[in-house]
Amino acid sequence: MRKSKLIKPDPTLKNNLMAFGYECTIPNALIIGENIEISKLKRGSSVLGINGNNENVIETFNRKYDGEMLEITGEGMLPFMVTPEHPVLAIENNWIEHSGTNINKKAVWNLAKDLIEKHHHKNGYSLIIPRIKPHVSISEIDLIPFRKSPKGVMSAEKIILSDNICWLMGLYVAEGSPSKQGIQFSLHKKETALRDRIIDISLNELNHPCSTFNSPISNGAITTIPSKILSRCFPVWCGKGAINKKIPEFILFHTNESFLRSFIDGYLLGDGCSLTNKGTNQCVANTVSKILVLQLQLAFGRLGIFAHIYNGKKSGYQIFKNRLINIHQQYSININLSAKRTFAKITDDSMIIPIRKIKKVKYSGIVSNIETTGNTYLLSNAVVHNCDKGWRPLIDECIEKLEEQVKKDKLDTEILQIKEKFGTLRIYLSSETDEISNIVERYELFSSHICELCGEFWTAKERVSHAWWKTLCDKCAKEHDWV
């Protein structure tokens, strides 16, 4: 006798039932906080959220998707891709023709498909980049975890944080690398001021004398701080390899703003250059680290400066000194030091950035999302909403009832989509009996009385904000500024 069955979304994809039909992004989207791709995040991972603070990942979601995605690019921001239903925090800008002014409304959650490009003298939307909040106040860094063995001997057990040490780390991110002898800085022979400062900091604050090697066949010079323990800790703090260079979190989030400024100064002296363009003074730097360029935009934002970042030269192969080498994707950062006009509006808590381009992209493959403690995370530094958890038990129970009924009705059917529409749950199947339809309708009705964020049902009800419906309890509605 043939067995009837309910075909659910691919069970090999983790937690796909809740994510099926919901908002998602591409699996290789880089998430600042843990500084890894979203598909590699785990429960307990740390990500930056709407308030510029770290939030913890509660759950991860991956599912198959075949359809249209939207690539959204803000002024001076890297593009990010999301499904059309993904909520993005944005401000609607209305251009008033007769007064020649923009009227900015309040930041609210908008479906990506409802966003409109913002151009000069036109209506449109702007993205929100949070200004990170400092919360680290350490005065020293422990070196003991970097001992190769408990019996190892070293000259110091800690590094005292100072402007000079942070400057050295910034220069290391630009020009440094670990070696068997210690950490080394690749400089030009004429960069004697940088070399002398490295030697001074190493001797007076790290208690290590330096060595310098001038290449006989080029203009290169290598200055080395001979410390094996530094060769182990600097890659951990500042990233290992050019594509993984980063700002240490104990500098990025330190309450002493001078530490961050010193790091940036050291980095720009290594990788940056000054330009004069159309009467404006600009500082430009290039890197192959996407982590670093996104962090730098947040770091400058903390200082009240909007730094433009762009995709530079694409990855590929090229001939260098008769050798075929692999070139990584490059990224550029531009800081306009004398601009009288900026496209970014900077407030105490955020930077408001106009959307310049929205591109539709055909996509077929795995998409990912996460659930966080604060219900938000950043994509290319723009605030987006996470996958909601409140209806997950309701969906699980509904599917259990459907499986029981399918067996009774001796029916083969497939779940085509699970989604939210007009604030309530929607479940679509390939075929239904009256009994199956009644089950679906019952659970869709239940969803209108259960908060889709936290699952509370005492005060949950359907609410609307800017023509977007959600079912929220009083607490979640207040936290997310819903009517």
DSSP for 222-277, please give it: EEEE--HHHHHHHHHHH-SSGGG----HHHHTBS-HHHHHHHHHHHHHHHEEEEEE
pLDDT of residue 407: 86
Q: What percent of the chain has pLDDT over 70?
A: 85
Euclidean distance between CA atoms 62 and 139, whole angstroms: 41
> What is the rounded average pLDDT of the residues 38-44?
93
pLDDT, tens digit, 9 for 90 and up, residues 108-135:
888 899 899 998 878 899 999 999 999 9
For residue 450, give the amino acid letter: I
- Give the number of other CB atoms < 10 A from CB of residue 8: 15
Return the pLDDT at 391: 80
For the chain, the distance separating the N- and C-terminal CA atoms, rounded to the nearest angstrom, is 54
pLDDT band at 20 (very low <50, low <70, confident <90, very high): very low
Lowest mean pLDDT across 18-32, 138-152, 366-380: 18-32
What's residue 121's pLDDT? 76
Mean pLDDT computed over every residue of the chain: 85
Confidence of residue 70 (pLDDT cuts 50, 70, 90): very high
- Sequence-distant (6+) residues with CB within 8 A of 442 are none
Highest mean pLDDT among 14-18, 56-60, 479-483: 56-60
Lowest mean pLDDT across 97-101, 222-226, 388-392: 97-101
User: Which residue in this structure is represented by tokens 């980095």?
Assistant: 267
Question: What was the pLDDT predicted at 466?
Answer: 55
C-alpha distance from residue 230 to each of 175, 202, 227, 237, 242 (Å): 15, 11, 5, 10, 17
Q: Which of 8-22, 50-64, 152-166, 397-411 is predicted least confidently? A: 8-22
Confidence of residue 26 (pLDDT cuts 50, 70, 90): very high
pLDDT band at residue 194 under the 50/70/90 scheme: very high
Residues ≥6 apart with Cβ < 8 Å to 90: 107, 108, 110, 115, 125, 126, 127, 128, 355
Band of residue 2 on the pLDDT scale cut at 50, 70, 90: very low
Angle at 223 between CA 220 and CA 224, to 5 degrees: 135
185: pLDDT strictly greater than 80: yes
Q: So what's the pLDDT on residue 99?
A: 45
Cβ 323 vs Cβ 280: under 8 Å: no
pLDDT on residue 98? 43
Mean pLDDT score, 37-50: 93
Whether residue 37 is predicted with pLDDT greater than 90 in this model: the reply is: yes
118, 91 Cβ separation under 8 angstroms: no
pLDDT of residue 97: 47
The CATH fold assigned to 140-346 is Endonuclease I-creI (3.10.28)
Per-residue pLDDT band at 217 (split at 50, 70, 90): confident
Question: Residue 424 pairs with which residues in a beta bridge?
Answer: 421
Which residue type is seen at 384?
V
Closest by Cα among 145, 149, 147, 206 to 172: 206
Read off the pTM. 0.81
User: In this model, does residue 374 exceed pLDDT 70?
Assistant: yes
pLDDT at residue 268 greater than cutoff 90: yes
**Residue 50, token pair as written in the block:** 């709407």
pLDDT of 333 strictly over 50: yes
- Please state which of the ranges 48-52, 98-102, 250-254 shows the lowest mean pLDDT: 98-102
Architecture of the CATH domain 23-131+350-385: Beta Complex (2.170)
Q: What are 320's strand-pairing partners?
A: 323
Q: Where are the domains of the chain?
A: 23-131+350-385, 140-346, 392-479
CA distance linking residue 284 with residue 276, whole number of Å = 10
Q: What is the distance of C-alpha 321 from the center of its chain? A: 37
Q: What is the structure's pLDDT at 381? A: 96
Residue in the block written with tokens 């679906």: 440
Q: Of the ranges 166-180, 192-206, 269-283, 354-368, which one carries the lowest mean pLDDT score? A: 269-283
Mean pLDDT, range 389-397, rounded to an integer: 79
Q: What is the mean pLDDT of residues 268-293?
A: 85
- Rounded to 10 degrees, the C-alpha dihedral 450/41/9/86 comes to 60
151: pLDDT strictly greater than 60: no
Q: What is residue 13's predicted lDDT score, i.e. its pLDDT? A: 38
* pLDDT at site 338: 67
Contact present, 315 and 327 (Cβ < 8 Å): yes
Helix (H) or strand (E) holding 205: helix 192-205
Q: Say if residue 477's pLDDT is above 90.
A: no
Query: Could you tell me which residues come within 8 angstroms of residue 466 by beta carbon, excluding any fewer than 6 positions away?
Result: 92, 108, 110
**Strand stretches in 270-391, DSSP E:** 272-277, 280-287, 308-311, 316-320, 323-327, 331-336, 345-346, 350-372, 376-379, 382-385
For residues 355 and 441, give the distance between their C-alpha atoms in angstroms, rounded to a whole number: 39
